[in-house]
Every structure is written in structure tokens, then in C-alpha cells.
């Protein structure tokens, strides 16, 4: 019996990828967990592990093939279970951390098989793993594999027997009317003559960024809020902190202080740490702060998880590691997917002020400009201070003007009096 190995979906937004390298050849024997290939996505290079054992019968996609669609067969094993599971995928040189599976069919109720109490349950490793993720009891699932072994399709087709059908049945909705596709005119139609430019094809990252940001800008009702922040006290505090951490080899940046201040402000104004969903507004338990990092071909947003609970040294160490691995495309999916709030800092490029596009499903994103000497008025006195302009772009469905203003007030107070971050 032959088993097709499918192109895995390595992230929620992945539609296709490049099969960069095979680690096996026709005739090789593989076991569950063996690395069989490397796949390049729009965000990272991932290793693909086999989820079943068998002999490589055919390699259906050649090395270097681009635009391989998710769930397309890429290889075939003989001696497998007969199902078509997606392989396990992990970042290259990193330990296995994630399972990517093909979309599950409509759930059905489970009929409990008759098993003697304490009898051994025969199930494939992948079936056990997916059952654990879905909260299913393997003793209540009938296996359709050889000698009644539980395989992936049995788990994908199962829901707990105690669940009422109505609880899992999708709500019937009227089909939404589709807008006509936007007609994109060529450069020639817009008056740019052929041969006057060089065309570089879009890679997976550029395609994904273009699609997601277009959807966000079009579909999310957003608005900006701006504030100027004096940084002199923060810069003095940074010098003192770095002197204390010098022996540990840790250096805190202004961006690390901004991450910490944003997280503490989200804790103090929890209404701003939220996401819009069709079912309601989700208020997040922690401030998972995503920070935009420029890489070749686009950008990526690695995440400092629960940043409100971490000290400056830990934030600085984690951010340095995440940024380095982001630039080499070695991040794990959970290190850049998700997040409850984003920061984009262009101050190092001399940009004074700008507004970012919201990174769904987050409710807001902070755009940070350069700190520069500016004239300031204090009472009737004119002085000079280091001032930074920031812009908070808000999803009006979640963060309205009053909530956004309260968050900016808290954030500004933390940066202008940095000791408040730790009390």
C-alpha cells in the first residue's frame, strides 16, 4: 500500500512554498521522525519530517521547484498506512516543534468500539498526536487501518462522543456576494514603455505581505493617534541600566525600553490589548509584543511573549536572538505568528513620523519615529529636549479614540518617567 506525502501548510497564511532540498532518494527506508526534505516558505526554511515509516517509492517534486501548492503530493512511500498525512515540519537546524496537517473534513460523531478494559490501543504516532491536540479519547475511536489500527483519517473524522451534534455543526449562512476582481493595468497601459525597467518576480514573502496588508488596509476601519514624547530621562536611565548590565554582556537599546513600556501600558489599559472577532472582542491575558524586523525580501514580526512579565535584560537578550534568527530565516512559526500588539520603529532611518498598517488580528500597532533635539515650551520658558513622535494606528472596532488616547497617555508617562516601568 502506498502513501502520498503532501506539501505541508507551515503557517496559517502559507499557500505555496519552494521544495529546496531532498534528504532522501528513491529506495531509501524512512521512519517516523526522519528528516526527508527542506522547504522554503515566505518566512523561513523548514525541515520536513516523515510521520510514517516505509520505503521511498517516488519523489514527485524535484529539488528547487517553486510555487508548490499546499497539500500537493511531493513524494510517495510504499508500505504506509494508506492515508495521506502532511509531514511534520520544523525550522532547519531546530528541534521538532509543530505538526502541519491537511484541512480536516467535516467532523462526525464517534462510535465507541468494543475493547476489553486495559487492552492495548494500536494507533499511529501521528494519530496519537492529533488526538491529543483535539482532546479525543483513543479508546472511543474505531480504527480503519490494518488490524484495526487507528490512523490519521480516523482521528480527523472524529469528535468526542459526548458532544452534541449541534455543538459542532457549522451555522448555515447565506453566501456572501463576491466583489468583482479589481482590474490591474500593466505598466505599458499606464504609459511606461517596455524595456525601460527590470522586472523582479514576486517571491512568496512579497506576495503574502502584499495580500495581507491589502486586506488589512481595506477591511479594518482604522485611524491614527499621534503624540510627542520627551526622551531625555529615558536616555539617562538607559545609560545607567547598561552600566549595571555591562558585566553580563547585555546592552539595552531604546527599542527594548519601548517594548517594555508598551507592554506595561497594555497591562494598565487592558482594553487596548484586544482583537476583534466575529463572535466578540477578545481581551488577551498577556502583552505579546510583535516587533517588525526588516529582512531580505520583506519584513517579519518576531514576538516577545508576555513582555509585561520580563525585565529589560531578558527583553534585550530575546530581541537580539529573535532578530538575528529572523534575518537568517530560522524562526519557528510560533515565534512570529500571533502577537497581541505590534511595534514598528523607523527612527534609526531618520524617519520623524509615520503610520503603520494594522497586523491582523491585533487591535493596534505603534509606529516609532526618530528622537531628535526640538524646541519645547514649559510654562513661559522655551527650552530644548530630545523628542520622539509616535503614532498609534487603531482598529476602531476594538480600540476607539478614548481607549487609544488612554493607552498613549500611559505609554508617554512610562517613557518620560522610566522608573515607573518597574514599580
Distance of CA 7 to the CA centre of its chain: 19
Q: What is the pLDDT of residue 236?
A: 96
The pTM of this model reads 0.63
- Domain range for 213: 205-422
Together in a domain, 307 and 213? yes
Residues 393 and 404: their CA atoms lie apart, in Å, by 9
- For the cut 90, the answer to whether the pLDDT of residue 367 exceeds it is yes
Asked if 401 and 261 touch (Cβ cutoff 8 Å), the reply is: no
Which of 23, 284, 286, 396 does the annotation list as catalytic? 396
- Segment 355-360 mean pLDDT: 94
Q: Highest mean pLDDT: which of 121-135, 173-187, 366-380?
A: 366-380
Together in a domain, 128 and 273? no
- For the cut 60, the answer to whether the pLDDT of residue 353 exceeds it is yes
| Inside any domain, residue 243 | yes
Q: What is the pLDDT of residue 89?
A: 53
Detail the DSSP E strand segments found in 191-278: 222-230, 274-277
Q: What is the pLDDT of residue 185?
A: 76
Residues 390 and 232: their CA atoms lie apart, in Å, by 16
Q: What is the pLDDT of residue 304?
A: 98
- Segment 240-246 mean pLDDT: 95
Q: In the annotation, is 396 catalytic?
A: yes
Q: What is the pLDDT of residue 355?
A: 96
The residues near 382 (Cβ < 8 Å, ≥ 6 apart) are 375, 376
- For the cut 80, the answer to whether the pLDDT of residue 191 exceeds it is yes
Residues 128 and 398: their CA atoms lie apart, in Å, by 39
| Inside any domain, residue 398 | yes
| Inside any domain, residue 183 | no
Q: What is the pLDDT of residue 245?
A: 94
| Inside any domain, residue 100 | no
How many domains does the chain contain in total?
A: 3
Together in a domain, 58 and 152? no
Distance of CA 193 to the CA centre of its chain: 40
| Inside any domain, residue 391 | yes
Q: What is the pLDDT of residue 343?
A: 98
Q: What is the pLDDT of residue 113?
A: 45
Strand ordering across the sheet containing 222-230: 222-230, 381-395, 364-378, 341-345, 289-291, 303-304
Q: Highest mean pLDDT: which of 34-38, 148-152, 185-189, 256-260?
A: 256-260
Residue located via cell numbers 449541534: 166
Residue 379 belongs to domain with CATH number: 3.30.559.10
- Segment 123-134 mean pLDDT: 72
Asked whether the bond before 361 is cis by omega within 30 degrees of 0, the reply is: yes
**Which among 65, 91, 117 is the end of a domain?**
91
Asked if 406 and 392 touch (Cβ cutoff 8 Å), the reply is: no
Is 3 or 116 the better-scoring residue by pLDDT?
Answer: 3
Q: What is the pLDDT of residue 104?
A: 34
Asked if 339 and 301 touch (Cβ cutoff 8 Å), the reply is: yes
- Segment 141-161 mean pLDDT: 72
Residues 359 and 338: their CA atoms lie apart, in Å, by 9
Asked if 291 and 423 touch (Cβ cutoff 8 Å), the reply is: no
- Which of 103-107, 126-130, 192-196, 404-408 shows the lowest mean pLDDT across its residues? 103-107
β-strands 158-159, 108-109: how paired? parallel
- For the cut 60, the answer to whether the pLDDT of residue 107 exceeds it is no
CA distances from 118 to 107, 121, 132, 147 (A): 27, 9, 19, 18
Orientation angle between helical segments 254-268 and 401-416, nearest 10 degrees: 130
- Segment 351-366 mean pLDDT: 95
Is 333 or 312 the better-scoring residue by pLDDT?
Answer: 312
Together in a domain, 155 and 287? no
- Segment 204-214 mean pLDDT: 82
Distance of CA 149 to the CA centre of its chain: 35
Q: What is the pLDDT of residue 96?
A: 31
- Which of 75-79, 81-85, 87-91, 116-120 shows the lowest mean pLDDT across its residues? 81-85
Together in a domain, 67 and 133? no
Together in a domain, 71 and 146? no
Other CB atoms within a 10 A radius of the CB of residue 187 amount to 12
Asked if 162 and 109 touch (Cβ cutoff 8 Å), the reply is: no
Residue 151 belongs to domain with CATH number: 4.10.320.10
Is 277 or 168 the better-scoring residue by pLDDT?
Answer: 277
- For the cut 50, the answer to whether the pLDDT of residue 161 exceeds it is no
- Segment 129-148 mean pLDDT: 76
Together in a domain, 115 and 87? no
Residue 14 belongs to domain with CATH number: 2.40.50.100
Residue 361 C-alpha cell reads as 488580528
| Inside any domain, residue 182 | no
Nearest CA to 394 out of 423, 357, 369 is that of 357
**Segment 398-418, tens digit of pLDDT:** 999 999 999 999 999 999 999
Other CB atoms within a 10 A radius of the CB of residue 329 amount to 20
Together in a domain, 70 and 124? no
Nearest CA to 161 out of 144, 136, 129 is that of 136
Q: What is the pLDDT of residue 110?
A: 34
Q: Percent of the chain beyond pLDDT 90?
A: 49
- For the cut 70, the answer to whether the pLDDT of residue 176 exceeds it is no
| Inside any domain, residue 174 | no
- For the cut 80, the answer to whether the pLDDT of residue 288 exceeds it is yes
Residues 204 and 67: their CA atoms lie apart, in Å, by 8
Together in a domain, 115 and 262? no
Together in a domain, 238 and 359? yes
Is 290 or 130 the better-scoring residue by pLDDT?
Answer: 290
Report, in angstroms and rounded to the nearest whole number, the Rg of the chain calculated over CA atoms: 26
Q: Highest mean pLDDT: which of 48-52, 73-77, 201-205, 383-387?
A: 383-387
Mean pLDDT in the chain?
82
Together in a domain, 282 and 396? yes
- Which of 115-124, 224-233, 350-359, 413-422 shows the lowest mean pLDDT across its residues? 115-124
Residues 278-316 as b or e (16 or more Cβ within 10 Å = b): eeeeeebeebbbbbbbeeeebebbbbbbebbebebbebb
Together in a domain, 51 and 140? no
Other CB atoms within a 10 A radius of the CB of residue 403 amount to 19
Residue 222 C-alpha cell reads as 482604522
| Inside any domain, residue 186 | no
Residue located via cell numbers 498506512: 81
Amino acid at each position: 500500500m502506498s502513501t502520498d506525502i503532501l506539501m505541508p501548510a507551515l503557517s496559517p497564511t502559507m499557500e505555496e512554498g519552494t521544495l529546496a532540498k531532498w534528504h532522501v532518494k528513491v529506495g531509501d527506508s524512512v521512519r517516523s521522525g526522519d528528516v526527508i526534505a527542506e522547504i522554503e516558505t515566505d518566512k523561513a526554511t523548514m525541515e520536513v519530517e516523515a510521520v510514517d515509516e516505509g520505503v521511498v517509492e517516488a519523489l514527485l517534486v524535484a529539488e528547487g521547484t517553486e510555487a508548490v501548492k499546499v497539500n500537493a503530493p511531493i513524494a510517495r512511500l510504499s508500505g504506509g498506512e494508506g492515508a495521506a498525512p502532511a509531514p511534520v515540519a520544523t525550522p532547519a537546524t531546530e528541534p521538532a516543534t509543530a505538526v502541519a496537517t491537511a484541512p480536516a473534513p467535516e467532523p462526525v460523531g464517534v462510535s465507541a468500539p468494543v475493547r476489553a478494559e486495559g487492552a492495548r490501543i494500536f494507533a499511529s504516532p501521528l494519530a496519537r498526536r492529533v488526538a491529543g491536540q483535539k482532546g479525543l479519547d483513543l479508546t472511543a475511536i474505531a480504527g480503519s487501518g490494518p488490524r484495526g489500527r487507528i490512523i490519521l483519517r480516523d482521528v480527523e473524522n472524529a469528535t468526542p462522543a459526548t458532544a452534541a451534534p449541534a455543538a459542532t455543526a457549522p451555522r448555515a449562512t447565506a453566501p456572501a456576494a463576491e466583489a468583482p476582481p479589481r482590474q490591474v493595468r500593466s505598466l505599458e497601459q499606464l504609459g511606461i514603455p517596455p524595456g525601460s525597467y527590470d522586472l523582479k518576480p514576486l517571491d512568496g514573502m512579497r506576495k503574502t505581505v502584499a495580500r495581507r496588508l491589502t486586506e488589512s488596509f481595506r477591511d479594518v476601519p482604522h485611524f491614527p493617534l499621534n503624540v510627542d514624547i520627551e526622551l531625555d530621562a529615558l536616555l539617562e536611565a538607559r545609560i545607567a541600566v547598561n552600566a549595571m548590565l555591562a558585566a553580563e554582556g547585555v546592552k539595552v537599546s531604546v527599542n527594548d525600553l519601548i517594548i517594555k513600556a508598551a507592554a506595561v501600558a497594555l497591562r494598565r489599559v487592558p482594553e487596548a490589548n484586544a482583537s476583534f472577532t466575529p463572535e466578540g472582542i477578545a481581551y488577551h491575558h498577556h502583552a505579546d509584543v510583535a516587533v517588525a524586523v526588516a529582512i531580505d525580501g520583506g519584513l517579519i514580526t518576531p514576538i516577545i511573549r508576555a513582555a509585561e512579565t520580563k525585565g529589560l535584560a531578558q527583553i534585550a537578550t530575546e530581541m537580539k536572538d529573535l532578530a538575528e534568527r529572523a534575518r537568517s530565516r530560522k524562526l519557528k512559526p510560533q515565534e512570529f505568528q500571533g502577537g497581541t500588539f505590534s511595534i514598528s520603529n523607523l527612527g534609526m532611518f531618520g524617519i520623524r513620523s509615520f503610520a503603520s498598517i494594522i497586523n491582523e488580528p491585533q487591535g493596534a500597532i505603534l509606529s516609532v519615529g526618530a528622537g531628535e533635539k526640538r524646541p519645547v515650551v514649559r510654562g513661559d520658558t522655551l527650552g530644548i529636549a530630545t523628542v520622539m513622535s509616535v503614532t498609534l494606528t487603531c482598529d476602531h472596532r476594538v480600540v476607539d479614540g478614548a481607549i487609544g488616547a488612554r493607552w498613549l497617555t500611559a505609554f508617554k508617562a512610562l517613557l518620560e518617567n522610566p522608573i515607573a516601568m518597574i514599580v
